[in-house]
Amino acid sequence: MDKKVVLITGCSSGIGLSLAVRLSQVAAFCLVYATMRNMAKKERLLECVKGLHKDTLDILQMDVTDQQSILDARDRVVEKRVDILVCNAGMGLMGPLEIQSLDSMRRIMEVNLLGTIQTIQAFLPDMKAQDKGRILVTGSTGGLHGLPFNEVYCASKFAIEGACESLAVLLQHFNIHVSLIECGPVNTDFLVNLQKAELGDASLQKVDAHTLSLYERYLQHCGSVFQNAAQDTEDIVKVFLDAIQSPCPAFRYFTSGVVPPLIKLKITEPDGSRYISAMSKIIFSAEEQ
């Protein structure tokens, strides 16, 4: 059986790194191209594979916001085809909307939305020509329901849902399966790497006191959710493997195994008011007491 050629974006840490390590261990099945924008960060991945899997893992530079770097990485794939494309690179932006600069907001959209789309664009013609392929995208529950103080991040992830769902309808005619792996909180470098307004930052001085107190409450909530309920990257990798190994993969996979209740609420109560009050209560209830 021909090995599947897998290319993954954002492998310097977190989900991408764990997925690259795990897939490179399934030597009978995969050849892995782990890509990252900053090759100075490759030691962490190399340490994780401990010098093993030289035949199944290669590391390439790829910045998803730089079209030339995507095309260069594509051209360095020895097999001249990618069977499984994993669009995983992403970053967060957190804080009151009124302090976000146009540059920061553009950056998030460029990485999370346009970066994902232009990566898919680069590999799509070859997949169509082969009449087969898999595209997996690391989605977020923040792409299915809104989260206060994450407006632009959620907008980028909501947009990914629309782009992927639209593509999935078309690509089934080319035997190309698109799947979103919808993650809740995961223990990665995400919280370290995200652009976040810290309490005490000069940028927050112009924000009104009520918003600031809600933001403080949100940060506490977020900290406790990550501390108590975050999944490990291995849990996420298992879901990726399920999708990759399924002969007929679903469009959406929830890493918690079930549709989270707040997302169900959006479907059962489509006017949205119950979702908004439920989420507000969960995050800000201490503020109201």
Q: Does 37 bind ligand NAP (CB under 6 A)?
A: yes
Binding flags for ligand NAP, 100-139, as an x/- string (CB under 6 A): -----------x---x----------------------x-
Smallest distance, Å, CB 240 to ligand NAP?
A: 11
Please give, one letter per residue, the 3-state secondary structure of 148-182. CCCHHHHHHHHHHHHHHHHHHHHHHHHCEEEEEEE
Site mask for ligand NAP (CB under 6 A), range 64-103, x = bound: xx----------------------xxxx------------
Nearer Cβ to ligand NAP (109/212): 109
20 binds ligand NAP, rule: CB under 6 A: no
On the CB side of 269, how many CA atoms lie within 13 Å of its CA? Answer: 12
User: Which stretches does DSSP call E strand in the chain?
Assistant: 4-8, 30-36, 57-61, 84-87, 93-94, 133-140, 176-183, 195-196, 252-254
Contact between 38 and ligand NAP by CB under 6 A: the answer reads: yes
Instruction: Report how far residue 215's alpha carbon sits from residue 221's, in angstroms, rounded to the nearest whole number.
Output: 10
228 makes contact with ligand NAP (CB under 6 A) = no
Strands 57-61 and 30-36: parallel
10 backbone φψ class: left, alpha, beta (φ>0; ψ -120 to 50): left
153 included as an active-site residue = yes
Q: Show the CA angle centred on residue 242, arms to residues 39 and 140, nearest 5°.
A: 60
Q: Please say which residue, 37 or 145, places its beta carbon nearer to ligand NAP.
A: 37
**Piece in contact with ligand NAP (CB under 6 A), picked from 20-28, 57-65, 71-79, 123-131:** 57-65
Q: Which is nearer to ligand NAP, 11 or 265 (CB)?
A: 11
What's the rounded Cα separation, in Å, for the pair 22 and 240? 10
Provide the binding-site residues for ligand NAP, judged by CB under 6 A.
9-16, 36-38, 41, 63-65, 88-91, 111, 115, 138, 140, 183, 185-186, 188-190, 193
